Amino acid sequence: MKYGHLIWVNLTRNKRRTILTALSVAAALFLFVALRSVNTTLNDAREVGSESRMVTRNAISIVFQLPEAYYGWLSSLPGVRRVTWGNWFHGIYRGNPRDFFASFGVDVDSYFEVYPELVVPEDQKQAFMRERTAAMVGTGLMERYGWRLGQTINLTSMIYSPVTEWPFTIRAVYTPLPGWTDEAFYFHYDYLSEMTEWAQPGWYVLQLDDSSHAATVAATIDEHYKNSRFATRTETERAFQTGMVSMYGNVGFLMNAVGLAVFFAILLVAANTMMMAARERTSEVAVLKTLGFSDRLLFGLVIAEAAAITLAGGLLGVFGAKLLFEGTGFQGAGFLPGFAVKMSTAGLGMLIALLLGLFSGLVPAWQAARLPVAHTLRRVV
Amino acid sequence: MKIPLIYNIRSVRRRPVSTLATALGMGLVVLVFIAMMALSRGFRAAIVETGSRENVLVVRSGADNELMSGLSRSTAQTIISMPFVAKGPEGRPLASPEIYVLVSLERLAEGDALVVARGVSPQAFEVRKDVKVIAGRMFNPGAPEILVGKSIVGRFAGTEIGETINFASRDWTVVGHFAAEGSAFESEIWGENEQFMPAFRGEVFQSVTFRMYDPADFESIKQTLESDPRLTVSAQREYNFYANQSVLLTQVLSFAAIFIAGIMAIGAVFGAVNTMYAAVSARAPEIAVLLTLGFRPLSVLSSFLMEALVIALIGGMLGCLFALPLNGIMTSTTNWASMSEVAFAFRVTPDLLLRGVIFALAMGLIGGFLPARRAARQPIVQAARRP
Amino acid sequence: MALLEIRDLSKVYQRDAQRIPVFEGINLNIVAGEFLVLMGPSGSGKTTLLNLVAGLDEPTTGTIRVSGAEVTAMSRRDLAAWRSHHVGFIFQLYNLLPVLTAYQNIELPLLLTHLSKQDRREHVMTALEVVGLSDRADHYPRQLSGGQEQRVAIARAIVSDPTLILADEPTGDLDAQSAQDVLTLMQRLNDEYNKTILLVTHDQRAADRGHAIMHLDKGVLTG
């Protein structure tokens, strides 16, 4: 583009100002990408659940358990292919509540059939299923603590006993499919029930033959147990996940509100820069008009200059964030498993950078376009 | 020789758009900072104020929240009959063995949330002096009646007086609303412990809270309870027990506040640097004159720093102004320690506003330093010659 | 037929209730190849007249035609395009862009045309040759003397081969020798390249170079 050089020399006229402005845009977009990725990560967590799996839990609350005896009846229901169950162990490592990760006691025989997402080498899977005290651990968790296959580690449970240490031997390492956490810890439910009299299934997971029967199955189950001592609540796994994620509160709204404030703060910085730049060049604009540069062209040149600054800043902020978060494997200290900067987030970030450029250039560009030449020249000459 | 401040104020006023843009940018940073800190403070206050320093809360040994605790009826009885438990006017111990469960209630807006249902003894309102029935009446012992905390009222279905809420396979009639000075109790449902116990899980209390005769004796009381061979309990001041529950989320929110405001501040500081450099170069001839008149470079430096601080002060005050309306706005989140929903208000306190202004001034100082130094180091002759 | 035709031209400023006429009812014809010098004291409206001819300002009444095209009837947008083809403007203070080299400054008007980069290069080099600064193509304005800067500005004014060259006190800021060089150059543009020039000045030495002199004083144009 033949005007490229003209834009370039204007950008480099006050290098410090251009660079500082681009950097402040970069800071803003870094923040945007970080905040937005928190949102998309949480949203993805909602979508993890399958529509063809259902979760049956205690109607009062997830913190209450269900009798083991429910397994038989649930398995016999028409349309239910397989049933498994799990129990929330709330394990902590080294006795430190900060060394916390998702830990479950599961029925190992049925669990893999219901959760094909857990990709495990066959020999490790067999080793895990064979040994009563064996554990299966996600790749991320292995990395976090530098554990090795075959290593025995001790956990205490915040639910069953905060003082007793339970030894587990890592026999399998699973690689999660996309969206599944790589920081979970699975072990035998049988081991749990041996160690404590309190443990019962925390929830049942039902694999259906056909997801279109989900509503009917849920109604049948909940009706069946309605007047028992342990009433149930059955919903699809996706609905269940959504409920869990909503416990983070209204993060989305908070992030959007903050994002808006960031946008306006940086818009002010960028617009101020462009206005300062334009003010210094008033006479030059008048000269260009004398040479025959049209109002529209001058308008475009100022906007292009502003957009060049914000896009450069945007590139730095957006992809800097992406590289940084991916390079460090950031997971929000375990609160945001699967944290990632999506390409759609990066694209949106660049779009925002472009918008910042357009808006920040608007006032000075309009001023340049409307500049009365004769009056300006008289003032200057 | 000092350069009078009025000189800076006049120069700030000469460039109103640029000054305002810079100040407003800083103001937005301050707003975000104050808002997030106010969120963190509000949550912390709601949880912390739940407990009193004069009360002791007893749970099963090792439990750090009531949900994980379990105390048998005999354990509760043993604790209540101890001599250090204060007595009410009728000679009854000021103690409340409590059932603590989570129930899933239907939000009026959308979806469900877990709410604490607390079964208390009729003495609970004497043990916790801050909790008062503000509408309707106290529940009658022996009846399936409940009181609803005022922050839940209007947010969940069936919370008005006379309506019923169904949980634990029973209908419970709402007979009153209670307030607890903004604490997390206001997000709870209270009923009689002897009614809740059979409805939930049998002969177990989750905690016993009692008033001490003399709060100064706490250490010895704790010692007595925790070493009693009949009991396997841990005792804490009620205040500390709840304060600990707020630590994690408060830390997360404070970290987020500092992270977000910090990065925004970088952007705003760069904006201030730009503005101040423009101010310095626009006034190069004036600076030269000042230097020629014998003003020391240090005076020029401090004068420009002053100017940056004036802009920052405007920004800080704007931020405070924007943040003020947030005070008192109710919001809710999940208390991760108890997995229940807690409603609380943003707390914009004077010290938080002061911090916001200091934050802005720090941005001004950092943003103004290099341009001010450049002004002070400017060679006189060269500057005077420029048009 | 005249190349430039000014009919009943008036420019009146309105300040509050007060009517401040710069000039009223001016008529002027300039034929192609003319080198007309317009003289007059400061504030007499010389520059205003020049700006009106270049379409940079709007008259209160009257018409201006250049090669038959009515400048005073064009829209802002058409004016910009028209200016780029028909008017070369020379300022007292040169008004080169400090961030561009001599070459790039001269190239500016050509950016508005459809010429290829190669064609633009040829035009610029020719213009530089005409003003005698081929060896200064890559110099920035601050590396040039005042006289050289003005010659670059002249090259910029002629590079798109305009119909009319308008010069506003081109020697006003130059020392005597540089002023002579610039005037000689303008005379040569008129003689050799047959450029039509309207030069505004109050410098008698500059006036002597023109074919004809007109005076604008107190709003009245006299020959």
C47 touches chain A (CB under 8 A): yes
Contact C80 A377 (CB under 8 A): no
Alpha carbons within 13 A on the beta-carbon side of B347: 15
Determine the average pLDDT of the residues in A298-327: 93
Q: Say whether pLDDT at C123 is over 90.
A: yes
* Average pLDDT of the segment spanning C50-61: 91
Q: What are phi and psi of A96, to 5 degrees?
A: -105, 120
Phi/psi at C15 (5° precision) = -115, 115
Chain A residues inside the 8 Å CB shell of C43: none
Compute CA B326 distance to the chain's CA centroid, rounded to the nearest angstrom: 13
The pLDDT tens digits of the residues spanning C58-116 come to 899 999 999 889 999 999 889 999 999 999 999 988 999 999 999 999 999 999 989 99
A148-157, B8-17, B273-282, B300-309: which range is least confident on average? Answer: B8-17
Mean pLDDT of C159-172: 92
Please report residues of B whose CB lies closer than 8 A to that of A250: 331, 333
Look up tokens 């707003």; give the residue: B31
Task: Tell me which DSSP letter residue A247 carries.
Answer: G
Residue B12: CB atoms within 10 Å: 21
Query: How far is Cα of residue B45 from the mean position of the Cα atoms in its chain?
Result: 5
- Contact call for residues B55 and B212 (beta carbons, < 8 A): yes
Distance from first CA to last CA of chain A, Å, rounded?
32
Q: Which two tokens stand for residue B331?
A: 């919001």
C83 touches chain A (CB under 8 A): yes
Residue B382, pLDDT above cutoff 60: no
Overall average pLDDT of the C110-126 stretch: 93
Averaging pLDDT over each range in A171-185, A225-239, B162-176, B284-298, which range is the top one?
B162-176
pLDDT score, position C117: 93
Highest mean pLDDT among B94-108, B145-159, B365-379, C119-133: C119-133
pLDDT at A89 over 50: yes
User: By the CB < 8 Å criterion, does C59 face chain A?
Assistant: no
Helix (H/G/I), strand (E/B), else coil: A210 = coil
Interface-testing mutation among C49, C112, C163, with chain A (most A C-beta atoms within 10 A)? C112
* Lookup result for tokens 């003495």: B123
Q: How many CB atoms neighbour CB B365 within 10 A?
A: 16
pLDDT over 90, % of chain B: 32
Nearest to A361 by CA among A284, A271, A285, A265: A271
Q: Which residues of A touch C80 (CB under 8 A)?
A: 289, 292-295, 297
A380 and C CB contact within 8 Å = yes
As beta bridge partners, residue A85 has A204
More confident residue, B359 or A250: B359
What residues form DSSP beta bridges with B228? none
The verdict on a CB contact (< 8 Å) between A374 and C76 is: no
Q: Domain coordinates of chain B in residue numbers?
A: 5-48+245-385, 55-211
pLDDT band at B66 (very low <50, low <70, confident <90, very high): confident
- Reported residue count of chain A is 381
The pLDDT of residue B282 is 80
Q: Which residues of A touch B369 (CB under 8 A)?
A: none
Confidence of residue A57 (pLDDT cuts 50, 70, 90): confident
- C83:A290 CB<8 A: yes
Chain A residue with minimum CA distance to B279: A276
Residue B381 has pLDDT above 70, yes or no: no
B338 pLDDT tier (thresholds 50, 70, 90): low
CA A68/CA A43 separation, integer angstroms: 33
Band of residue B369 on the pLDDT scale cut at 50, 70, 90? very high
A353 touches chain B (CB under 8 A): no
Q: Does C51 touch chain A (CB under 8 A)?
A: yes
Distance from CA of C84 to the nearest CA of A (A): 4
Better-predicted residue by pLDDT, B24 or A248:
B24
- Burial of A321 from C-beta contacts in 10 A (0-12 / 13-18 / 19+): buried
Report the C-alpha dihedral over residues A137, A143, A144, A146, rounded to 10 degrees: 100
Structural domain spans, chain A = 4-46+249-380, 53-209
User: Does the beta carbon of A249 lie under 8 angstroms from any beta carbon of chain B?
Assistant: yes
Portion 8-47 of A in contact with C at CB < 8 A: 9-10, 12-13
- Average pLDDT value for residue range A208-223: 86
Ranking B116-120, B314-318, C218-222 by mean pLDDT, the lowest is: C218-222
Percent of chain B with pLDDT over 70: 95
- Mutation site for C-interface testing, chosen from A284, A287, A371, A376 by largest number of C Cβ within 10 Å: A287
At A183-213, the pLDDT tens digits run 889 999 999 888 877 788 889 999 988 888 8
8 Å CB contact of A28 and B271: no
Query: Which residue carries 């949330």 as its tokens?
Result: B113
**C195 backbone φψ class: left, alpha, beta (φ>0; ψ -120 to 50):** beta
User: pLDDT class for B387, splitting at 50, 70, 90?
Assistant: very low
**Chain A closest CA to B333's CA: distance in Å?**
5
C109 vs chain A: nearest CA distance in angstroms? Answer: 6
Provide mean pLDDT across the span B132-138. 92
- C abuts B (3+ Cβ pairs < 8 Å): no
**Cα separations (Å) of A134 from A111, A137, A142, A222, C119?**
15, 10, 15, 34, 80
| pLDDT of C205 above 90 | no
Name which of C80, C92, C99 is nearest A289 (Cβ-Cβ): C80
Looking at residue A157, its pLDDT comes to 81
Phi, psi angle pair for A47, to nearest 5°: -85, -10
Spatial distance between the Cα atoms of A24 and A16, rounded to a whole number of angstroms: 12
- Among the residue ranges A41-50, A292-301, B145-154, B222-231, the one predicted with the least confidence is A41-50
- Reduced to 3 states, what is the DSSP secondary structure of residue B301? helix
Interface residue A292 vs chain C (CB under 8 A): yes
Query: How much is the pTM?
Result: 0.79
Amino acid symbol at A7: I
CB contact under 8 A, A295 and C80: yes
CB C173 within 8 A of CB C93: yes
- Of B14 and B96, the structure prediction assigns the larger pLDDT to B96
Strand C61-66 with C69-70, pairing: antiparallel
| DSSP alpha helix (H) spans, chain B | 5-14, 16-48, 73-80, 124-127, 193-199, 218-227, 238-282, 284-292, 297-323, 350-377, 380-385
**CA separation for the pair B39, B44 (Å, rounded):** 9
Alpha-carbon span A186 to A309, nearest angstrom: 50
> Which domains are assigned to chain C?
34-55+80-222 (3.40.50.300)
Q: Do C109 and A294 touch (CB under 8 A)?
A: no
pLDDT number for residue B284: 82
- Hey, of A377, A378, A380, which one would you mutate to test binding to chain C, going by the most C CBs within 10 A of its CB? A377
User: Tens digit of pLDDT for each residue in A313-350?
Assistant: 999 999 999 998 888 777 666 567 667 888 899 999 99
In terms of Cα–Cα distance, which of B86, B48, B68 is closest to B209? B86
Question: How many other C-beta atoms lie within 10 A of the C-beta of residue A326?
Answer: 12
Structure confidence by residue, pLDDT tens digits, B245-299: 777 778 888 888 888 899 989 988 998 898 888 888 888 888 888 888 778 888 8
| Residue B8 · residue B307 · CB < 8 Å | yes
For residue A249, pLDDT over 70 is answered with no
Residue of C nearest to A371 (CA): C56
Percent of the residues in chain A that have a pLDDT greater than 70, as a whole number: 91
Exposure string of B249-278, with b = 16+ CB inside 10 Å and e = fewer, is: bbeebbebbeebbebbbbbbbbbbbbbbbb
Q: Please give the DSSP secondary-structure letter assigned to residue B95.
A: E
Average pLDDT score over residue span B218-233: 88
Question: Taking 70 as the threshold, does the pLDDT of residue B115 lie above it?
Answer: yes
Identify the pLDDT of residue B13.
Answer: 78
Res B108: pLDDT: 82
Q: Cβ-count burial of A54 within 10 angstroms (0-12 exposed, 13-18 middle, 19+ buried)?
A: buried
Quick check: helix, strand or coil at residue B87?
strand
* Percent residues over pLDDT 70 in chain C: 100
Strand pairing partners for B172?
A: B165
A76 Cβ under 8 Å from any chain B Cβ: no
Closest CA to B85 of B238, B232, B212, B207: B212
